[in-house]
Chain A
Amino acid sequence: MVTISINNETRQFPEPVSLAELVREYREHNPELAFAIAVNGEFVPRASYAQVQLQHGDTLDIVNPVGGG
């Protein structure tokens, strides 16, 4: 089992999963949300999603715009 933390919630996958696949799923559920992603605290540009294979123990941060001061 591959365990990945997504915004502090643990998810399990039977095998390593690509970031592009997770993004596709995220977009399906949140079609109108602008977002950006970091893996293990490092920003991953959109153009690189296809090249990132997530491993057991990876942490994913998906952020969206909010009001700010």
Chain B
Amino acid sequence: MDPLKLYGENFSSRLLLGTALYPSPQAMLESIEASRCEIVTLGLRRQNPKDRDGAQIWEAIKGTGCRLLPNTAGCKTVKEAVNLAEMSREIFNTPWIKLEVVGDDYNLQPDPFGLVEAAQELVKRGFKVLPYCTDDLVLCQKLLSVGCEVLMPWGSPIGTGQGLLNKYNLRTLRERLPNIPLIVDAGIGAPSQACEAMEMGFDAVLLNTAVAKAQQPALMAQAFGNAIDAGRAAYSAGLMQKRQTASPSTPVIGQPFWHQQSRQQ
């Protein structure tokens, strides 16, 4: 399998996995292992020090050896996102940041204007920005123009599991930005949806809820890993063109009985 290249680093897995919502830290670890992912997302929150869940998860994640991709989830302004990114860089010792600037509470849609402004500022400060964005071509072009080298358009709103809602826009992104790593982030609910994104030529898929909320998270993680591999292989192999009419796959020449039927007519 050809490697995924992000900000100069190669990865053999094309699945990025979130670390929230698992029934336990152990279930999260088993899912990471079963998925074969090499990049995990995580966040920062104010916590009650008596609540040890966050500490347990962080201890568990550290032991995986995965590359960390901290997020700015929940930030609604440029200032919030930039400051949370700085806090992430200090804690996790990485310039990589999954940049989220939320513009709408109802569907957690990214704020395109704040996103570009925050991305520009973070790039200036030396961050490797992976923006969670909508599938709007012009927004994506703006993000590239301010220094993002990877884009993460949504498939559908976070946690909905609705898959690829706007395939026209997603195909347009792939066609117009052929050399930019594009990761479908959010809204993926089933391995078939992840596979479809990969078949369309997307470079990777980032997901969380579909695995974490499965009845058997590790098994679902394995299913996603396999689906993403299959989709990538299919894209690399080259999918056939759809046709309107049937075309026999078994050779017509040498078909028995055909001449007999012809004589009867």
Contact = CB atoms under 8 A, between A and B. Distances in A.
Contacts of B186: 69
Given A36-B87, A45-B90, A68 B55 contact: no
B75 to A, nearest CB: 11
A25 B70 CA distance: 27
Contact of B58 (A7, A30, A34, A46): A34
A42 B54 contact: no
16 contacts: A32-B55, A36-B88, A36-B90, A41-B79, A43-B83, A43-B86, A63-B44, A64-B54, A64-B58, A65-B42, A65-B54, A66-B43, A67-B22, A67-B28, A67-B57, A68-B18
- Does more than half of chain B's interface fall in helix, strand or loop, or is it mixed? mixed
A69 B45 contact: no
A33 interface: yes
Interface of A: 7-8, 29-30, 32-38, 41-43, 45-46, 61-69
Interface in B37-67: 41-47, 49, 53-55, 57-58, 61
Contacts of B73: 68-69
Contacts of B28: 67
B158 interface: yes
Contact of A68 (B42, B53, B79, B80): B42
B35 interface: no
A36 B73 CA distance: 16
Given A36-B91, A43-B87, A69-B18, 17 more contacts: A33-B49, A42-B83, A46-B90, A63-B45, A64-B45, A64-B54, A64-B58, A65-B44, A65-B54, A65-B57, A65-B91, A66-B43, A66-B47, A66-B53, A67-B43, A68-B18, A68-B71
